[in-house]
Structure 1
């Protein structure tokens, strides 16, 4: 397999993992891939140009409109982020960035 073919394979694998909703460990176990090898390629490819992240559709469940209890729940895989009125925008941006780099 040529280097460019191997790079394409790993770009596809990393994209598949990110869109699977599974943790890296669970995805690697399912696909019989060593997590160290996954992280090696993730680092290697993050130093090169990767496709831009895509926005996902957010579906909000209807909840009572009690202002003191209102919040937005963002679910990414098994992670759940609750965003309440008056939230810290910088903290939310840091958390989203961290989740993007994990999987």
Structure 2
């Protein structure tokens, strides 16, 4: 970044603070400018610059933003019968129990079957 651009960025930051001070002062822009010994035309020129810079930054963020979408994962069915150690049939429902099933999981499964 060139020294002129750095200087402009510094002035822009100063004017952001000045504009915020003016808006929160409760005074009209003309009255605030008179107190600060700033011409209203200078104030409004910098206000346009600040708003333009803010708009440009927002537009850059939108263009560079990432959007996530939920993608449904198809249900994976095991076709390898050797992988599971037991199969329970309850009505039309088939429940395969695998060797990796822990004691607590099996207990919860049995309790749920009792409820049904």
* Shorter-chain TM-score range: 0.3 to 0.5
Q: Which has the higher helix share?
A: 2
Q: TM-score, normalised by structure 2?
A: 0.40
Higher relative contact order (CA 8 A, sep 6+): 1
* Structure whose CA Rg is larger: 2
